[in-house]
Copies of this chain bind each other. A is one copy, B any other.
Amino acid sequence: MNSPTTAPADTACDAESAGRGRAALSVTASPEAAVTAARVLARCRDLVRPSLSAAIGRLHPWPGEMAAFSLGWCEVGGGPTDGSYEGKGLRQALAVLCAEAAEAPGESAVAGAVAVELVHTFSLLHDDIMDGDGTRRQRETVWKAYGTGPAVLAGDALFALAVQTLAEAPGPHTAAAVCRLSGTLSGLVRGQAEDLLFAARPWTGPGAVRMDEYCAMAELKTGTLLGCAAALGGLLGGAPAPTVAALDRAGRHLGVAFQAVDDLLGIWGDPAVTGKPVYGDLRQRKKTHPVLAALAGDGLRTRELAALLNSPLPLDDAGAMRAAALVEACGGRSATLDEARRRLDAARACLRSVPLAPRAALEIEVLLASLLHRRM
């Protein structure tokens, strides 16, 4: 990251996190909170949807259909869906809520919300090509359904549209917002590059991926855009620079937490809910947080796990189940859950370090807490 607008999350406010944050987590992570999180997400989605839909409508019809398919709005060919393939809309919600946290109407952040949702969709689309992933949200991925070339095109179209939507938005903060978004795009690509390169590195020994490298990658790949979403909301809502910076840092911590939970779901998630194969990340031998944490020890079970992962043979059902059990027995699962909690606490501490409108701040915290317990 070269841009001064995209400083790493590890800053002074992190130190405040432990006590207050963890206590708050246990209070807000109730079933009621999950319902409220769903409502918050729905309210923000309803606010942003007309503009997001209008933006997609500006695309050439062909990449436009692929974009709508990727957003879960249609089937291949353009036919309607029941909406069950849509994403959570976390990024657009963060943008809207952070504008409201700056005492501005949520509407002021809509161009930013649209831009971050478009960038998110672009990155899923291109990452699925690079990772060779054929399934997402219980459906074929775009490259699988439409072909690799067309999927590259659709991603490019979304990327361009994201920048155009924000650059054409009226208002005094547009230039700063575009500058932040462009730094974010570079950060995302850098994170994806690291993630792809991890695949070629050994599981153990001097060349193995260190946990700090993994967390830096997760912050770039997932945290940068969540930080951007939050910061754009604040920026477009007229928040002062220290508040925008704190929102950015909060989003980055949230991103690492989100990735950690994603890693847990990639091994122990319910395939019927996640839409991904059981133990999928282990079968694909992805270098994820729980596996790297498990391999950080040096007991017998750690060595058995390393041997399984190093084997040139594909992992069959029994092998994948054994690997998952070993990751858990070696403390990988609990270490990842701890990392997610720690990062959510740090995000909370960032939010509490600056003055925010109470109602919006509460809604953001409810969203944060719900992410730890998400099932997809």
Contact = CB atoms under 8 A, between A and B. Distances in A.
For chain A, give the interface size range. Answer: 35 or more
Contact of A164 (B132, B167, B183): B183
A211 interface: no
A92 to B, nearest CB: 20
A150 B182 contact: no
Given A167-B178, A179-B168, A189 B58 contact: no
Contacts of A182: 160, 163-164, 167-168
Contacts of A124: none
Contacts of A190: 60, 157
A193 interface: yes
A152 B126 contact: yes
A157 B193 contact: yes
Is chain A's binding surface mostly helix, strand, loop or mixed? helix
A157 B123 CA distance: 12
Interface in A138-190: 148-150, 152-153, 155-157, 159-161, 163-164, 167-168, 174-175, 178-179, 181-183, 185-186, 188-190
Chain B CB within 10 A, most for which of A129, A132, A175, A182: A182
A224 to B, nearest CB: 11
Contacts of A192: 153, 156
A3 interface: yes
Nearest to A180: B167
Contact of A179 (B149, B167, B181, B194): B167
29 contacts: A3-B168, A60-B189, A60-B194, A62-B193, A62-B197, A126-B156, A129-B148, A129-B149, A130-B150, A130-B153, A131-B149, A150-B196, A153-B192, A153-B196, A156-B189, A156-B192, A157-B186, A157-B189, A163-B178, A163-B185, A164-B179, A164-B185, A164-B186, A167-B182, A168-B179, A168-B183, A174-B175, A175-B178, A178-B178
Given A167-B179, A168-B182, A168-B183, 8 more contacts: A58-B186, A60-B189, A60-B193, A126-B153, A130-B149, A130-B153, A163-B178, A164-B179
